[in-house]
Amino acid sequence: MATELEKIADKERVAHLARNEYNYTDEYSSNNMNALANGDEKGKGEYNGEVGSITDINTRTSNIVKNEYNDKNGYSDTHINALSSGDEKGKGDSNGNVGGKTDITTRIQNTTKNYYQPDNEYNSGHPNALSTGDERGKGDVNGQVGGKTDISTRTQNTTKNFYSPENEYNSNHPNALSTGDERGKGDVSGQVGGKTDIDTRTANLVKNETYGPNKKSYPDFVI
């Protein structure tokens, strides 16, 4: 005989089962209609190739309508919208042309501004790279290097310089030897120093009454 507690439990079970739309003859499972995408909000499992609730399906449909690409018009590197066909979308190589419309227009403008072209390329042999008397080129041309300003400055400096390739300064140059001027001080027949050096040395020897080249050497006494 059922206890009082069991009677209450049976009664509550019946009440709960009444509220539950699933029962032993209609159990919830992956095959239940409420688990499948059949057009309501409950089921999302695949049903006739469709998945998701009604909201999922409607949203997907709306997004697909906005998307110009689909199964029959897939986007790829060969799609017209991926190629440089004169619009802003595609930038891939198409008959040697690359970039969107703005890219192409900007490149044409920049190329027009550029003095150098494929048939007039800048290189070490271009007149604008060589020292031809203008400011641009500075490369060697028949021994001449530098722009116009470089050449003019060098010429001015060379004019100011007493020495030249034909009159180089060295240890044997008159201006390096003691020849009686102020410039040279190198030994010439035992004479060294510039004019001032020689005059000062001579004056000092004259002032010295006791000692000199032809006089007694110091000390002048005998032990």
Q: What pLDDT digit, counting tens, does each position of 100-117 carry?
A: 999 999 999 998 899 898
* pLDDT value, residue 46: 93
Residue 29 to residues 23, 36, 43, Cα–Cα distance (Å): 11, 10, 11
Cβ atoms within 10 Å of 14's Cβ, excluding its own: 9
Burial classification of residue 148, based on how many CB atoms lie within 10 Å of its CB (0-12 exposed, 13-18 middle, 19 or more buried):
middle
Q: How far is Cα 37 from Cα 54, in angstroms, rounded to an integer? A: 8
| pLDDT(178) > 80 | yes
CB distance 44 to 51 below 8 Å: yes
Q: How far is Cα 121 from Cα 140, in angstroms, rounded to an integer? A: 19
Q: How far is Cα 42 from Cα 143, in angstroms, rounded to an integer? A: 91
**Mean pLDDT rounded to a whole number for the chain:** 88
Give me the amino acid identity at 24: Y
Cα 120 off chain centre by: 26
Query: Of the given ranges (52-56, 115-119, 137-141, 184-188), which has the lowest mean pLDDT?
Result: 115-119
3-state secondary structure of 219: coil
Q: Which residue has the higher pLDDT, 193 or 204?
A: 193
DSSP 8-state assignment for residue 217: P
Predicted TM-score of the model (pTM):
0.42
Per-residue pLDDT reduced to its tens digit, 129-140: 999 999 999 999
